[in-house]
Amino acid sequence: MMRSLAVAALSLVCAVPAAFAQAGAERPLARVGDDVVSPDELRAEFVRRHGGHAKFLGGEEEIRAFLKIVIDRRLLLQEAYRLGLDALPEVRSTAERIAEKKSIERLIKEEIDDRSKVTEEEIRAAWESRTTELYQVLQIVVESREEAAAVARELEAGADFGELARVRSIARSKLRGGGLGTIGWGVMSIEWEQAVFPLQPGQTSPPFETEEGWEIVRMVSRTPAEKPDYDTARARIEGILAERTLEARRAQFSEELWTKYGARLSGVLELTPAALSALLQTAPETVLVTWEGGALDLATFARGLDLAALGQLPVSKAQRQLDDLLRRTVNDALVRREVVARKMAERPDIAAEVRTERENLMERILYADYVLKGVSVSDAEVRAWYDGHPEQFRTPERRKMAHLVTATREEGEALRARIERGEGFEDLVRQYSTDPATSKKGGDLGWITKEQVPPEFAAVLGLASGEISAPLQSQYGWHLMRVEAIDPPRPMPFEEASGDLRKRLLEKKKSEERAKWVKALREATPVSIDEEAVVELARASNKA
């Protein structure tokens, strides 16, 4: 530490990120060495430490107190940079990982999410044209194109559709002779609708592929339907359109990336579990897809795949899953390449987020390896503190309470009089208390301490064991409070107190060590506060 403090006054232009030296549009609040602390940075740090609350809770006093916290943290972070913590492998790799993650998130938002918005006109157009007809259809689903072609030939030859569905289909609808019930727009996939909805009653579709397998569908009937109320149907229509638009844009963007980077399937094998398993044994280096500057080999693609489980699926379904996974795997690689090509990590907002995460990690390392290294509390220190401060280690008085709740003061007073004449408290609680949570157990509230007693019930702290209070009002009604038992204060055994005491002493030592570091850094680094800027910010915060 002494070596690094000796150079504290040196310029940090090369060692500290340029963003440290950039003020926001508002007047800087302070200077720490060559860095400035802007109002924006103060707000960001306040939000970071206060769980998302963006406004200051107080005025100038709050700002000054928090400005001190930010300056102290800046001093420590400057020291972390001087110590070269930003160059540590774990810090660099974490920053790179976060930069890539943030960049990918932004790319997906801009290229897919933001370009998949559904307009009000599209929603209304779908309501006008897509909600006016219902369909009755029969379905046969088989595993392969060849089976579907065979089924189609049998139907052309006059086979009964329902009987063939019961015998040949793999879908649950086979139990109903292929019947799917009444189908409306948005229930099935858009590809399914494109194949089925143009059909007229009695017509049968050619075989087409879906997630279920290979399908053949016969249109039984088309029935006009009255459009639903627009306001009622709007949310559902928007949801259907949004999902379809998003999926279409995902596919479009995938094609754009495959084209841009020349991605090509090698075509060396059929993507089935059996074929993959066999080739993995003999040629795991087999290339499946190539693109500009990269490739995907079989061993990498198969990593993490449960080929045995996939092998239990119908071959066509397993192949569809593998095809989809291959596409997504290549998409991931191309997206990573695209964010590098667009230099997205250099965007100011992303760079700021990465810097924040990097400095959070640097701060943790600084504390662990430098500021707080070796800080500990011995058993002897814990014992000495316990013995020297006996007044701090006493369990508080506890009172076991029960209550009876009534709607009015008059009801409470009448029931209290009955109790004083000898009627059982628990019996009256079960008969008359309006608190269902406690009435079945005689009004029992458990044990409470003085700190747990609400102000409106303060009178119970003066009752002796067995005494009942006058009716006390709360938002729930009028309460007769009875003291069931009193557990007086008692010394807390060392074994019971030592755990929390050790934590307290350790935190105290940590705070002292941190204060020493900050004091030394302040002595070695010029720190100035712009008083007028602080007053100006306080005034603006109060108006907000």
Query: pLDDT of 107-149, one tens digit each?
Result: 999 999 999 999 999 999 999 999 999 999 999 999 999 999 9
399 phi/psi in degrees, rounded to 5: -125, 130
pLDDT band at 271 (very low <50, low <70, confident <90, very high): confident
User: At 30, is the secondary structure helix, strand, or coil?
Assistant: strand
Q: What pLDDT does 418 receive?
A: 96
Q: Looking at this protein, which amino acid is placed at residue 26?
A: E
491-515 pLDDT, tens digit per residue, is 999 999 999 999 999 999 999 999 9
301-338 pLDDT, tens digit per residue, is 999 899 999 988 888 889 889 999 999 999 999 999 99
Q: What pLDDT does 44 receive?
A: 81
Residue 53 has pLDDT above 70, yes or no: no
Distance CA 522, CA 30 (A): 13
Q: What is the mean pLDDT of residues 370-394?
A: 95
Measured from the Cβ of residue 91, the count of other Cβ atoms closer than 10 Å reads 19
Q: Copy the structure tokens of residue 392.
A: 């701090």
List the beta bridge partners of residue 186.
Answer: none
Alpha helix stretches (DSSP H) within 157-202: 161-168, 190-196
Cα three-residue angle 445-448-453, rounded to 5 degrees: 100
Q: Closest Cα partner for 460 from 486, 438, 424, 433?
A: 486
Report whether 249 contacts 268 (CB < 8 A): no
DSSP annotation of 377 reads -
Residue 46 has pLDDT above 90, yes or no: no
133 phi/psi in degrees, rounded to 5: -150, 140
Q: Closest Cα partner for 21 from 393, 431, 355, 488?
A: 355
Residue 24 has pLDDT above 70, yes or no: no
What is the chain's mean pLDDT, rounded? 91
Residue 210: burial class (beta carbons within 10 Å; 0-12, 13-18, 19+): middle
Distance CA 272, CA 296 (A): 17
pLDDT band at 48 (very low <50, low <70, confident <90, very high): confident
Residue 539 has pLDDT above 90, yes or no: no
Report whether 345 contacts 102 (CB < 8 A): yes
Report whether 537 contacts 26 (CB < 8 A): yes
The residue whose two tokens read 């430098």 is: 370
Q: What pLDDT does 317 receive?
A: 86
466-497 pLDDT, tens digit per residue, is 999 999 999 999 999 999 999 999 999 999 99
Q: Copy the structure tokens of residue 482.
A: 């009875």
The sign of the torsion formed by the CA atoms of 271, 272, 277, 278 equals negative
220-248 pLDDT, tens digit per residue, is 999 999 999 999 999 999 999 999 999 99
List the beta bridge partners of residue 527.
Answer: 32
Residue 194 has pLDDT above 90, yes or no: yes
Percentage, residues of the chain above pLDDT 90: 82
Q: What pLDDT does 290 receive?
A: 96
| Full set of structural domains in the chain with CATH | 1-83+515-544 (no CATH), 133-225 (3.10.50.40), 395-491 (3.10.50.40)
Residue 540 has pLDDT above 90, yes or no: no
User: At 52, is the secondary structure helix, strand, or coil?
Assistant: coil
Q: What is the mean pLDDT of residues 451-461?
A: 94
Q: What is the mean pLDDT of residues 55-59?
A: 60
Residue 426 has pLDDT above 70, yes or no: yes
Q: What is the mean pLDDT of residues 347-360?
A: 94
Distance CA 9, CA 24 (A): 24
pTM, two decimal places: 0.73
Give the per-residue SS3 of 490-503. Answer: EECCHHHHHHHHHH
